[in-house]
């Protein structure tokens, strides 16, 4: 008695087409797109905040630099005044009290210059940090005179446009719409889905979401 064993293999393929799920998939996809749009708005808001902070630090450095120049000029002027008063006092045209007053004013200007130096270094450190540098950098800042724009007679449309186009508000609107579309998708999950296979047989399935 012989037993013959044959190896057999079979392959098959099937295809089915979803006809409708009563809007569940479309609402879910729309919710995901709105969430992505909200994240893009948040990224835009973060970028604009960084640019605003860079501008603010830039003008702070310019202000500190201008004050430092004024303090240096004040020191030079008071040093010249002390020299002149000292010469006049040596010639008995000024008293020693005038020399003392001039020397005190000079010392005050030195303190003012030292404070201006510290403020300038602090402003440079803040600008370097907001630009992403780990250490303080020495920048040569040049202030460019902006071209004056014509002032609008009515500012209400500009204010409305600024409030409407703010990216953080756009992000909140997209998040609200995404939540609404997601709620609709969860509601539509209670409806049955209709699909058909390649043999033109239709089937209806019903999915009840867990509570």
Question: Is 105 domain-assigned?
Answer: yes
Please give the tally of structural domains in the chain. 1
- The long-range contacts involving 81-85, CB below 8 angstroms and separated by at least 24 positions, are 81/105, 81/106, 82/106
Question: Is 200 domain-assigned?
Answer: no
Nearest-angstrom CA–CA distance, 89 and 98: 8
Q: Which pLDDT does position 188 carry in this prediction?
A: 72
Quote the pTM value.
Answer: 0.63
Q: Which two tokens stand for residue 194?
A: 């209709």
pLDDT digits (tens, 9 = 90+) for 107-162: 999 999 999 999 999 999 999 999 889 888 888 887 777 666 666 677 788 888 87
- Output the CA–CA distances (angstroms, integers) from residue 67 to 61, 118, 128, in the order listed: 10, 11, 20
Q: Which pLDDT does position 5 carry in this prediction?
A: 54
Identify which has the larger pLDDT, 129 or 5: 129
Domain that holds residue 113: 21-134
pLDDT digits (tens, 9 = 90+) for 163-188: 777 888 888 888 888 888 888 887 77
Question: Is 207 domain-assigned?
Answer: no
């Amino acid at each position: 008695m012989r037993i013959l064993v044959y190896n057999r293999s079979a392959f098959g393929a099937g295809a089915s087409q979803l006809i409708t799920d009563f809007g569940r998939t479309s609402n879910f996809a729309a919710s995901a797109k709105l969430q992505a749009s909200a994240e893009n708005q948040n990224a835009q808001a973060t970028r604009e905040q960084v640019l605003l902070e860079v501008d603010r630090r830039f003008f702070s450095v310019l202000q500190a630099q201008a004050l430092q120049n004024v303090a240096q000029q004040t020191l030079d002027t008071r040093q010249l005044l002390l020299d002149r008063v000292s010469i006049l006092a040596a010639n008995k045209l000024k008293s020693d009290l005038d020399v003392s007053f001039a020397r005190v004013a000079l010392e005050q200007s030195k303190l003012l210059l030292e404070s201006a130096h510290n403020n300038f270094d602090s402003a440079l450190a803040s600008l370097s940090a907001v630009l992403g540098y780990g250490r303080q950098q020495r920048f040569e800042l040049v202030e460019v005179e902006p071209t004056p724009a014509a002032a609008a007679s009515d500012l209400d449309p500009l204010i409305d446009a600024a409030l409407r186009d703010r990216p953080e508000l756009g992000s909140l609107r997209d998040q609200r719409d995404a939540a609404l579309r997601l709620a609709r998708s969860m509601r539509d999950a209670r409806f049955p889905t209709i699909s058909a296979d390649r043999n033109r047989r239709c089937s209806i399935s019903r999915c009840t979401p867990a509570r």
